[in-house]
Amino acid sequence: MPHRQPQLTFASRLLIGAASKTERWRPLTQWAVALVSLATVCALDLMVGTQASLMFLYLLLAGLAAWSLGERKGLAFGLLIAGSGAAVHHLEHHLFSGQGQAPAPAPELWNLFARILIVSMVVALVSGMHMALQLERWRASTDGLTGVLNKASFQARMGKTVAAAYGTDRGFILCYMDLDGFKQINDRHGHSAGDEVLRLFANAAVDAIRDGDLFARIGGDEFVALLNIPRIDDGDHIATLVHRRLSAILARTGLSVSCSMGALVATAAQLESLEAAVQLADSLMYEVKHSGKAALRVGRIDPETGLTAPNRLKIESGMAAIPHTRARSQVMEGDRRAA
């Protein structure tokens, strides 16, 4: 049978949409809304009395709490729901039975146990669904071999990052990297050795950049990264630091593999066309490939032209020649991974 994407029902879309909004709230807001909602349901249950059951509302609260608060906090809130429901039921017996006599303890304990069991099952099922959804989201955005972002996820996150910096003075370095000699490693040492090199390179790259930067494998032995820099003038130096770190890691493998990297230094406004920017960084990397490999080439956008299409850009590119004795940029100062 053909492998088709499953379709969500209207009810599932409605519940997932409502729960997804609550998980973006702050923890204090989540707890405040949960407690107010529970108090409202208890008050409504007292108003209705014994003529109608509002158990579905208690279970709905338990499910939403499990989704937004997590399994442990959801279970704690579920116990509070079960206890509140039992207290309301006990109070209803005194208010509406007309006798004012206390109910038998055995049925009361059984009802409390049943409430706890049902609420706990709901919390376990909903939290399990939430974890499964998060796992699928992670798998959909992650390269299976290296554990870094894949191409689609990188493009989506790059768009959000650039859009957030639009109109500011912040700059970016868009790096396009290719491993030199990778095909020979697969041919001589097997694909398992090649896979290990890819994982090693990806881990080294993640350690070489800072939190908030993006790194992805976009296919084969090609990788791309988006680095945040507060000043455009820091672009050459930071790109050189990253390339040196990656090259040193590859040299330690003992295999004849190196890194060719093209680095586009630009502002958020100049990266408005994301696909064109990636293609431009790719072209800078291929300049390195055609001029000897194992090097870095840095490019900038002509301020008068802007980023419209790769074939209409005036590029100022050249080998980044940063002396080893130059002082470290303040951007990288204090970052242990940027050595």
Bridge partners of 181?
none
Buried b (16+ CB within 10 A) or exposed e, 198-231: bebbbebbbebbeeebbbbbbeebbbbbbbbbee
Paired sense of beta strands 222-229 and 214-219, if any: antiparallel
CA-to-CA distance for 299 and 277, rounded, in angstroms? 11
pTM greater than 0.75 (yes/no): no
* Mean pLDDT along residues 29-58: 86
Bridge partners of 215?
225
- CATH 3.30.70.270 domain span(s) along the chain: 151-338
Question: Do residues 85 and 92 make contact, with C-beta atoms less than 8 angstroms apart?
Answer: no
The contacts of residue 321 (CB under 8 Å, 6+ apart) are none
Residue 38 pLDDT > 70: yes
| pLDDT above 70 as % of the chain | 81
Q: What is the 3-state secondary structure of 272-335? A: CCHHHHHHHHHHHHHHHHHCCCCCEEEEEECCCCCCCCHHHCCEEEEECCCCCCCCCCCCCCCC
Residue 174 pLDDT: 94
Q: 151-338 — its CATH code? A: 3.30.70.270
The encoded tokens of residue 189 equal 């040492």
Widest pairwise Cα distance in the chain = 96
| pLDDT above 90 as % of the chain | 19
pLDDT tens sequence across 6-21 = 677 776 777 667 666 7
pLDDT tens sequence across 150-199 = 999 999 999 999 988 887 778 899 999 999 999 898 888 888 989 999 99
Bridge partners of 299?
264, 317
* Mean pLDDT along residues 41-47: 88
102/320: higher pLDDT = 102
